[in-house]
Structure 1
């Protein structure tokens, strides 16, 4: 099946390339997208064009965060600070910080030379603006729970306290104080998340007012700013000449073009419409093997399935365990692509342990092992011997190549191994995201790329109070383990607690169905240098890229 899928994909790409040559591409018209050319085709302007997935969500860090924001923010917004590939602090909007003895009060000193792209000073009030707006449930921000370590944040989110009581204060325009309810050992890691990113008080009011996609009001404090936004087609970022570190920014412009699928992205790269096509299907590895364009990177991500605990019989742990044990992940990956690797963990396979330097998941026994015989017994014990009487469940997934292939294989395996029927429901990416957030699913595809370099980025999603908990999980024992790990300062003991929490959630209660981890297959023009990977996520970063001869 793997070979058949690969041949079909290669054929489709070839056909698509030929069609594109004759018919032209979709999206922005009149664009000669070879690196180093301007929009009207003249040489000289240092510009790259990046392919990205279909438009999802907005550009407001306090709003609904999805792929479009993540593409935009990496080049347009500066966090207070982040970590580089060496694990050292990279100061951005802040130039220094200090913390009190018990690690509950963090004070950040902002760069006085930092301004928004319209010249407005970047102040502490801009950071508080995002925090307060994110804590309004109407904003729909899935990252709001990462503000909960801040004093009174959770109570504000739940409507139990006024926004004015938030433990974030502007001591003056350039001094931001954040007070926590209790010590949080990974707090600095959280600062790269959208909810800790500034939004200009002058323009950023409500998440649905449209300010974020209007170039007149969507100002940026990073290396690039929004110059144009055409829904469902593209958006353009231009160099922010007012950026405090502008001398190190070599590109004049980055254009992101939206594509509905990976096949179209690969075709657009081949025809010169884009200069960077990230996260493509594995068949591209065969087509570009040995060429400088092909760049394979580790992605700190896990592809998995959410079973909705509010839907019968998925509320029965025996059923969830049976499904988990009946899936042959090795065979699944063989059929889906060479860029996948089977996993029974929730925490990403390629996430490093900061203390040991090894992969975190390799430092404990796997949460469970596949076992078809046991799976069949569990299903029978749950009242469905040989699948008899088992209701048909629907599996929602985005209509992307990898997810479609995965859905078909999982459907076939569950029918063959447990004699249960799964109905497949392909959805547009935005629809899939919205339906999952609303809890409108039986089984739903999930993919989580780490937001910061700590296992908590995964474990937090299954907490009872998590804004990303869409499947009805409420486990006090699990919550307590994760909460205990938050304040444990001994790295070895903290790691033990996190391994125990993952074992409970994934290997005992089976709240998710992990499938595989991935490598990212990227096509990049060899003339483009300086593209780096964000250590926390593995995603590509373009802020200091340049074009060489």
Structure 2
């Protein structure tokens, strides 16, 4: 698809000041047949195996290529995909899903219950590196299997026939349907998906899809191409013939590529683009259901002292931080995303309770002195690891300057490639580490679960029985208002009493979209753009 310029686009002179030259990536051969779009996304990271170590690449791929059992649309209504119906027993511990008998893999073979079980069993092997394995733990014996304390055959998942999938839970889980959109609950073809290390997930011959599009080409660190899956059960509703995702190392390069007509959609751009394209029909600004924050490693002194953790939190001026970083950010004092809705009230969840803490530099200095570091004296130099992205670099410098000014402590900055930053965090080899979490499903548990003692995303050594108990209690509370109270209580413990993290800001997603593209939706859980039902004007 060729980009059609509009009168509202930036002038060449403005572009020179806003969009500087960036890294160049290989360009796939343009497909002039049919309806095709090209989407610019961030650098290639993580596995494309739903049972593996998931990062940005999988999230872009899966939203168009994989069908979950069911999901929720923007109106909060169930949208059946791989399943056509389900039933649950009276105490909500046995969930039975009936799969579509007309669902086929992209090679024409049937999608069966064994393919769903294949992902689950592989994800429960710690060697797979799945951070999402923790969300399988509501299933009978799943946690024990993950920890090597039970045999795989004891897992509470049954496949009585090819089109029936039964989950037996340890106890009621009120958000179980929300979990079904997570990678570990999506299928992987048992014929080919054998290991996260075999490379099946990036080979078009073996990386089969049960969704609207399937992998046609993958060039590491450059791009991947998805073609329409002609065997898809709902193929008549899919208008595009292909989607090409191109990787870029920085947002400036993405914006340049859009302006040059090399891509049709550029996502998660800088606030400078939002300001430069103000009023243009290309500009699409959406709320990200995400939080940018910092992990503190409790295994590192003096971060094992709650007074130090509180002091650092209270000493950061988030309003100033956001003014410097960009107008697409807003201060946040919570772990749960600022724009996540509370299903019980329909309002933003974070607005249902008082702010976990208030910034207070004088109190921060008092706390640091109580911890044995008056005016920062004797405080060890800590290292902050963060990705080499413009926003994160700006954030790091502001944090460094504020903590020096307000607490007289030294923070060493260490920028890393995005994949290296992920690896550093997962290994626990850090003092302070940048974290960004976009909601995987529409429930605060997607955030609060990451701080549980048994969480596969708990990278900072948190072991808090009180916090664990409150979160566990919320899992089976069926009264929505009482459950919200428990979730607020848990967040207050983690963020306002123990200060396990340093929340920084919420974000708007700044996107440029060719006006000739229609039908782009937002994923209700995360706010991300979804292209499976997109279309292109006939005159292209």
Where does residue 125 of structure 2 map in the other structure? 136
Which residue is 1:453 aligned to?
A: 442
CA distance in 1, matches of 2:73, 2:40: 25
1:26 aligns with 2:52: no
In structure 2, how many angstroms separate the alpha carbons of the residues matched to 1:12 and 1:223?
Answer: 40
- The normalised TM-score by structure 1 is 0.94
Q: 2:326 aligns with which of 326, 337, 341?
A: 337
Match status 1:50 vs 2:30: no
Looking at structure 1, the residues matched to 21 and 44 of structure 2 have their Cα atoms a distance apart, in angstroms, of 21
* Aligned match of 1:16: 21
Give the match's secondary structure for 1:397.
Answer: strand
SS of equivalent residue, structure 2 residue 131: coil
Q: Which runs of 4+ in 1 moved over 4 A?
A: 9-13
2:111 corresponds to 1:113: no
Q: Which residue of 2 aligns with 1:286?
A: 275
**Residue of 309, 316, 325 corresponding to 2:305:** 316
Question: Which range is displaced more, 75-84 or 260-269?
Answer: 260-269
| Structure 1 Cα separation of the partners of residues 377 and 16 of structure 2 | 40
C-alpha deviation, 1:58, in angstroms: 1.4
The answer to whether structure 1 residue 300 and structure 2 residue 299 are counterparts is no
Q: Matched residues in 2 for 1:383 and 1:152: separation?
A: 45
CA offsets, 1:247-271, max 9 Å, x none? Answer: 0000000000011111111111111
Question: Residue in 2 aligned with 1:76?
Answer: 65
Residues 426-462 of structure 1, C-alpha deviations (whole Å, 9 max, x = no match) = 0000000011000011000000000000000000000
Aligned to 2:416: 427
Q: Contact 2:19 / 2:255 at 8 angstroms: preserved in 1? A: no
> What does residue range 509-548 of structure 1 map to in structure 2 within 5 Å?
509-548=498-537
Q: Does 1:245 align with 2:234?
A: yes
Correspondence 1:191-210 to 2 at 5 A: 191-210=180-199
Q: Give the Å deviation of 1:473.
A: 0.2
Please give the secondary structure, in 2, of the residue aligned with 1:16. coil
Q: Distance in 1 between matches of 2:28 and 2:176?
A: 45
Partner of 1:3: none
CA 15–343 in structure 1, closer or farther in 2 if over 3 Å, else same: closer
CA apart distance, 1:29: 4.8
1:535 Cα deviation after fit = 0.6
User: Which whole-Å deviations, capped at 9, do the CAs of 1:116-167 have from their partners, x for residues lacking one?
Assistant: 0001100000000000000000000000000000000000000001111110
User: Over residues 269-323 of structure 1, what are the superposed CA-to-partner deviations in whole Å (9 max), with x where a residue is unaligned?
Assistant: 1111111100001000121111000000000000000010001110100000000
SS at match of 2:288: strand
Instruction: State the distance in 1 between where 2:193 and 2:19 align.
Output: 45
- For 1:400 and 1:12, the matched residues in 2 are separated by 19
1:355-370 counterparts in 2 under 5 A? 355-370=344-359
Contact residue 398 and residue 426 of structure 1 kept, 8 A: yes
Distance in 2 between residues matched to 1:124 and 1:28, nearest whole Å: 38
The alpha-carbon deviation at position 13 of structure 1 amounts to 4.2
State whether structure 2 residue 405 is matched by structure 1 residue 416.
yes
Deviation at 1:28, TM superposition (A): 2.1
- SS of the residue corresponding to residue 524 of structure 2 reads coil
Kindly indicate whether the alpha-carbon contact (under 8 Å) linking 1:13 and 1:266 is maintained by their aligned counterparts in 2: no
The structure-2 alpha-carbon separation of the partners of 1:282 and 1:210, relative to structure 1 and needing over 3 Å to count, comes to: same
Can you list the C-alpha shifts for 1:55-105, whole angstroms capped at 9, x where unaligned?
Answer: 111110001100000000000000000000111000000000000011000
Whether contact under 8 Å (2:28, 2:223) holds in the other structure is no
Q: Distance in 2 between matches of 1:70 and 1:499?
A: 28
Task: From 249, 257, 271, give the equivalent of 1:260.
Answer: 249
CA distance in 1, matches of 2:19, 2:450: 40
1:278 and 1:494 mapped to 2: Cα distance? 35
CA distance in 2, matches of 1:418, 1:185: 44
Matches within 5 A, 1:374-413: 374-413=363-402
- 1:15 Cα deviation (Å)? 3.7
Is 1:495 the counterpart of 2:484? The answer is yes
Work out the CA distance in 2 between the residues paired with 1:161 and 1:388.
Answer: 50
Q: TM-score, normalised by structure 2?
A: 0.96
The counterpart of 1:95, out of the listed 84, 102, 120, is 84
Q: Distance in 1 between matches of 2:47 and 2:202?
A: 7
Query: 1:54 touches 1:259 (CA, 8 Å); kept in 2?
Result: yes
CA distance in 2, matches of 1:192, 1:155: 23
Distance 2:251 2:16 in 1: 14
SS in 1 for 2:351: helix
Gaps of at least 5 residues in structure 1 are 1-8, 32-37
State the Cα distance separating 1:16 from its structure 2 match.
1.7
